[in-house]
Amino acid sequence: MSAPYPFSAVVGLDDLRLALVINAVSPAVGGVLVRGEKGTAKSTVVRALAALLPGVPVVGGCRFSCDPAAPDPACPDATRHDGATWRPARLVELPVGATEDRLVGSLDLERALTTGVSAYEPGLLAAAHRGVLYVDEVNLLHDHLVDLLLDAAALGTSYVEREGVSVQHAARFLLVGTMNPEEGELRPQLLDRFGLTVEVAATREPTERATVVRRRLAYEADPDGFAASYADTDADLAAQIAGARQRLPQVLLGDHSLREITTLCAAFDVDGLRADLVCAKAALALAAWAGRDQVTTDDVRTAARLALPHRRRRTPFEAPGLDEQQLQDALDSVEPVPEREPEPEPPGPDGGRPEPPSDGADGASSETDQQTAADRSDSAPSPEEATQPQPVGTSSTADQDRTAPPRPGAPQAPGETFAPVALRVPGVNRRGGAAGRRSRAEGGSGRLTGARLPTGRLQSLHLSATLRAAAPHQHRRGRAGTGVVLRTTDLREAVREGREGNLVLFVVDASGSMAARQRMSAVKGAVLSLLLDAYQRRDKVALISFRRHAADLVLPPTSSVEAAAVRLTDLPTGGRTPLSAGLLRAAEVLAVEAVRDPARRALVVVVTDGRHTSGPAPKLAAAHLARSGAACVVVDCESGLVRLGLAVRLGEQLGGVALRLEELSAEALTGVVRAA
């Protein structure tokens, strides 16, 4: 295997490098989430971090990386503990498609049952203990793995149980994730687990781009040679990080700095106190990294910029990032604290000082002098550089539309949103489905619903069904002792059922009749509510609009609900109503998606009053769409005293249901569509 790209060869991406260094100096900061489009080398930079982390002293013979200074008495390998040794720090990668066993380790029940030996193979959580756990495309991680990860991160312990046999071991790790926000957002609980977030984008500066490309070419031509030429600078950086770790316990967080932190956190309306703590820890790490023994306002500013963006209360559609001016205003509002001797603060994780680094501080070089640490503008930008104002997307066209007086023919802004009823695809997807939270689907996770003969490699043993299958044969197999005589043919697999995400295809009537009397505003509000719901259920969404003489695929299937919201807001309205065209376009989109993403079931939401004034009557097109097998819901937008009931008939033609716009709200739940 060729050498990884060296950290010190990375050009630009200052925030990302700084965030990683902060965490290397103080693991208590709690990791980094890196957001950015493809091709920004974010994974490369994260992987390069491993070379900078101080080594870890471990107990010999222990697969769970017990600390020789405080070995875990409950360690599964406690009986094999043998002296002390030392190993390099680890950066363990959790692949998005990993099985539960791979993550938490596997209890080999087949072996346990047939030989009586308890067999536990440690998983990635054990490997990552006292190191880094890295998840590329963390937003695509299966819900079930996310839950396991959150449990382990919260407890610092991984707990595995199979049919009453249990094992537990320590699992404390730095969580680093990278993601492309266009492919979907993170669950809030997981988002909150990351200490810092960084947005990355490729530099727009030609000279810098040229350097990036030149270095990349040199690396690809000769990875080992290239890495060797940066080995010394990487080693220097590692030594500086180790030095900063040693300095960290002596760094002081003065009363004024603490006041600055709490003022900022309050100004940006963050949830709970976790943000304040992370900010304090990051500011302390920054001071240690700069070779200072006291936190400054610049440390606080930089820490806030990295620790607060993902903790602000905001809707999924608001732009991420912090407003620099608001940051400065909040800092300016802090009253100076009268000068006095800084008091030593109580130790402990909640005292505003980080826990002393538990890993590797002793193995670290102590020769690093403060000067070099403070001088590393090459690899860690100084706070001044790092806080230069950046363009922050604070105003959206949607906002402007909302405040502008309505012009004739201008798109109507969405009306109020609400919590919609849960629309589900009926039945259970036997093919596994895409991870999500909408409709029922079989899968490797979820609740146990039955047992069957294994269909492939045994994923999850159903113990009682296996024993029941073996029981009738015990006499014939010559069972003598206490153990059960098992054959491979007895094994039964657990069948589990969880939730899947769907493709929610909106087909929206944007004709003139819908645009009348601000009706479209209510319709957009309803669709936006369904989009918010789809975001939480991790669906893919797509949007077709029909008006005048044709139907438009306004938004092809995507996981970016933000994109859908923008297109919806800007949707033009007016003209005739080609309902058939809309339905046929939907059938086309479904046919393509059935090939591209076959396991994902579709839910078509037709938003219309059922009228058609252009093209043929919708009966044939509806039958055609119904044959695609997708579940259909018609949202009936007909209003007024005299109702024609056309949308209800369309619902029947589509083999689905119709519900009135007002019934979409969860409060007006009718139960009709809760077919799950």
Residues with a catalytic annotation lie at 274
β-strand pairing of 157-162 with 165-170: antiparallel
Tokens of 286: 């920054």
User: Contact, 265 vs 276, CB < 8 A?
Assistant: yes
Residue 542, beta-bridge partner list? 505
The reply on whether position 120 binds Zn ion by CB under 5 A is no
| Smallest distance, Zn ion to C-beta of residue 61, A | 8
User: Contact, 67 vs 87, CB < 8 A?
Assistant: no
Given the rule CB under 5 A, which of 67-75, 153-161, 218-226, 300-308 is the region that contacts Zn ion? 67-75
- The contact pattern for Zn ion, residues 20-59, with x = CB under 5 A and - = no contact, is ----------------------------------------
> Residue 561 is which amino acid?
V
Neighbouring C-beta atoms of residue 30, cutoff 10 Å: 21
| Smallest distance, Zn ion to C-beta of residue 357, A | 20
Residue 164: strand, helix, or coil: coil
The reply on whether position 62 binds Zn ion by CB under 5 A is yes
| Smallest distance, Zn ion to C-beta of residue 358, A | 15
What gap in Å lies between CA 109 and CA 484, rounded to an integer?
A: 13
Among candidates 494, 500, 388, 361, which has minimal Cα distance to 441? 500
Pick the closer one to Zn ion by CB: 122 or 610: 122
> Residue 171 is which amino acid?
A
The reply on whether position 67 binds Zn ion by CB under 5 A is no
Given the rule CB under 5 A, which of 50-58, 66-74, 141-149, 331-339 is the region that contacts Zn ion? 66-74
Given the rule CB under 5 A, which of 73-81, 107-115, 395-403, 666-674 is the region that contacts Zn ion? 73-81
User: Contact, 439 vs 599, CB < 8 A?
Assistant: no
| Smallest distance, Zn ion to C-beta of residue 80, A | 8
Burial of 392 (0-12, 13-18, 19+ CB in 10 A): middle
| Smallest distance, Zn ion to C-beta of residue 347, A | 26
What gap in Å lies between CA 459 and CA 102, rounded to an integer?
A: 11
Given the rule CB under 5 A, which of 75-83, 305-313, 547-555, 627-635 is the region that contacts Zn ion? 75-83
The reply on whether position 149 binds Zn ion by CB under 5 A is no
| Smallest distance, Zn ion to C-beta of residue 76, A | 7
The reply on whether position 75 binds Zn ion by CB under 5 A is yes
Pick the closer one to Zn ion by CB: 77 or 136: 77
DSSP class of residue 601? -
How far, CA to CA in Å, does 423 sit from each of 48, 51, 553, 634? 45, 49, 22, 11
Pick the closer one to Zn ion by CB: 74 or 410: 74
Given the rule CB under 5 A, which of 65-73, 100-108, 286-294, 391-399 is the region that contacts Zn ion? 65-73
| Smallest distance, Zn ion to C-beta of residue 117, A | 19
Pick the closer one to Zn ion by CB: 42 or 169: 169
Helix locations, 290-382, DSSP H? 297-307, 324-332, 370-374
User: Contact, 174 vs 181, CB < 8 A?
Assistant: no
**Exactly one of 7, 64, 173, 219 binds Zn ion (CB under 5 A); which one?**
64
**Exactly one of 24, 51, 66, 650 binds Zn ion (CB under 5 A); which one?**
66
Pick the closer one to Zn ion by CB: 82 or 662: 82
The reply on whether position 77 binds Zn ion by CB under 5 A is yes
**Interface residues with Zn ion (CB under 5 A)?**
62, 64, 66, 75, 77
